[in-house]
Amino acid sequence: MSEYAEIDLGNGSRSKLQILHGTEGPSAIDVRPLYQSNGVLAYDPGFKSTASCKSAITYIDGEQGILRYRGYPIEELAKKCTFTEVAHLLMLGELPYAQALGDFTQTIHDHNVLHEQVLSFYNGFRRDAHPMAVMVGVVGALSAFYQDLQDYSKSEHRHKAAIRLFAKMPTIAAASYTYSIGRPQRYPDNRLDYSSNFLQMLFGRPNQAYEVDPVLAKAMDLLMILHADHEQNASTSTVRMAASSGANPFACIASGIATLWGPAHGGANEAVLKMLEEIGTPANIPLAIKRAKDRNDPFRLMGFGHRVYKNLDPRAAIIRDMTKAVLKHLNMENDPFMAMALELEQAALADEYFIEKKLYPNVDFYSGVLLRAMGFPSRMFTALFAVARTSGWVSHWLELKNNEHGIDRPRQIYVGSGLRHVDR
């Protein structure tokens, strides 16, 4: 039985709008008739109250701190699955077993090498180029290499493009790091799992064997799972908007990488480390909290706050615990950055401003501390996030291509000059 909301538009007319419900989460008022029937727009800059689409991939409850991929709680996926299994779940809708996992892994192995000419692209960048700048450029250029995948109305073309992107992203990210330090690129080693392979491409040298530390490989796999998808965040929404125009998937994912780079989004993990370095010592934490609360001070507590979570980001809790375990494994239990992060979290969570505004640590707060301990330069943190989020981006691309609704084209409230004429 359909439900409706009736609203008075203030110009003597009323509009009867249907109320839509999903499996879980907030309901939505279908405002599509507003403009079609009444010539009135809905206004929501920042989309704080807007559902841009229907999706079956990820569910978030910000009040409860709930995150589920295809119905499975993130805590269970983190504990019981590998990132390859989670990527299969996101892209194809189900956790793979036996044969399906073997087939999926084989398709990744078939597509994780880069065309040699793609590797020559890197030479066009300065050695000190930010890895995200390199990744945006290289991924966007992949559309020039796959002329055979032009007809995305065909499901097999769509899935081949999605797999190519998912399989190649670690190779692309690793090359953006090794290029920056002048180390020859190692090729993928298909005897290894996805995350171990990524680590050997990042840190292995071409002239000697590289022993992947199983504890670090597990930590990397867990980070990949936690960063894989997150509903309609800014970068995923960008991918979907680009996809709605019919742009090829490589260009769509490049637009997602560009959006993720922002410090308010995926760039926050790098910004957290810079913030911890800027704070310097625990003695400066009260001043940092004071500055973060001052609306006239641009200083923000990076890694804190979230548009959806008004409770602890469930990913932050898992990463915090994993960081402690990895630091212990690396005999770095006295890591100053971890000590500072823990003390900063305690101070913020006890402060009225953060309590009242429901600002908690998010996925980026501890990930930088962990990645630094694992040997990553801070400029690579967001590149790692992009590798993980590629599984989510291509899943949303596939979902949109399977349910196309036409080009996304928001309107505006025009506040510029009225009609005037050139008088010369």
Kindly state the helix (H) or strand (E) to which residue 14 belongs, with its residue range: strand 14-20
What number of residues does the chain have? 424
Sequence letter at residue 239: V
Span near ligand SDX by CB under 6 A; candidates 15-23, 87-95, 262-270, 277-285: 262-270
Residue number of the CB closest to ligand SDX reads: 305
CA dihedral 32, 33, 38, 41 (to 10 degrees): -10
Contact 354, 343 (CB under 8 A): no
Distances (CA, A) of 372 to 285, 291, 327, 376: 21, 25, 10, 5
The binder of ligand SDX chosen from 218, 240, 306, 372 (CB under 6 A): 306
Interacting stretch for ligand SDX, rule CB under 6 A, among 32-40, 70-78, 108-116, 261-269? Answer: 261-269
The mark string for 225-244 relative to ligand SDX (x by CB under 6 A, - otherwise) is -----x--x-----------
321 noted as active-site residue: no
Q: Cα(279)–Cα(288) distance, rounded to whole angstroms?
A: 7
Is 265 designated active site? no
Binding flag, residue 300, ligand SDX (CB under 6 A): yes
**Where does 93-193 have alpha helices with state H?**
98-111, 116-121, 131-141, 155-180
User: From CA 131, how far away is CA 48, in angstroms rounded?
Assistant: 31
From 304, 366, 376, 397, residue interacting with ligand SDX (rule: CB under 6 A)? 304
Q: CB of 236 within 8 A of CB of 393?
A: yes
If one asks whether residue 316 binds ligand SDX (CB under 6 A), the answer comes out as no
Residues 6 or more apart whose CB falls under 8 angstroms from that of 386 comprise 132, 135, 169, 173, 256, 257, 260, 266
Nearer to ligand SDX, 13 or 346 (CB): 346
Catalytic annotation, pick one of 230, 306, 313, 351: 306
Question: Nearer to ligand SDX by C-beta: 139 or 268?
Answer: 268
Nearest residue to 197 via CA among 180, 173, 176, 181: 173
Structure tokens at 414: 């025009």
Restricting to residues 270-299, name those near ligand SDX by CB under 6 A: 292, 295
By the rule CB under 6 A, 268 interacts with ligand SDX: yes
Q: Is 218 in the site for ligand SDX (CB under 6 A)?
A: no
Element (H or E) spanning 47, and its range? none
Question: In the stretch 85-114, what mask flags binding to ligand SDX with x, by CB under 6 A?
Answer: ------------------------------
Q: Can residue 359 be called a binding residue for ligand SDX (CB under 6 A)?
A: yes
Q: Give the span between the Cα atoms of 136 and 322, in whole angstroms.
A: 30
Check binding of 302 to ligand SDX (CB under 6 A). Answer: yes
Does residue 59 touch ligand SDX according to CB under 6 A? no
Residue closer to ligand SDX (CB basis): 239 or 373: 239
Least CB distance from residue 391 to ligand SDX, whole Å?
12
Nearest to 194 by CA among 74, 88, 72: 88
Least spacing, CB of residue 248 vs ligand SDX, in Å: 23
Who contacts 189 (Cβ-Cβ below 8 Å, separation ≥6)? 197, 200
371 near ligand SDX, rule: CB under 6 A = no
Choice between 118 and 301, CB closer to ligand SDX: 301
Task: Return the range that interacts with ligand SDX (CB under 6 A); candidates 99-107, 125-133, 151-159, 303-311.
Answer: 303-311
Residues between 338 and 357 with contacts to ligand SDX, criterion CB under 6 A: 357
Residue tagged active-site, from 229, 335, 351, 364: 364
- Distance of closest approach, residue 271 Cβ to ligand SDX, in angstroms: 7
| CB closer to ligand SDX, 175 vs 223 | 223
Check binding of 364 to ligand SDX (CB under 6 A). yes
Radius of gyration of the chain (CA): 23
The answer to whether residue 163 forms part of the interface with ligand SDX (CB under 6 A) is: no
Separation between Cα atoms, residue 350 and residue 341, nearest integer Å: 14
Q: Please report how close the Cβ of residue 393 comes to ligand SDX at its closest, in angstroms.
A: 10
Angstrom distance (rounded) from CA 365 to CA 327: 16
Q: Is 362 in the site for ligand SDX (CB under 6 A)?
A: yes
Query: Using CB atoms within 10 A of its CB, is residue 187 exposed (0-12), middle (13-18) or buried (19+)?
Result: middle
User: Judged by CB, which is closer to ligand SDX: 109, or 307?
Assistant: 307
Q: What are the residues binding ligand SDX (CB under 6 A)?
A: 230, 233, 264-266, 268, 292, 295, 300-308, 357, 359, 362-364
Please give the positions annotated as active site.
306, 364
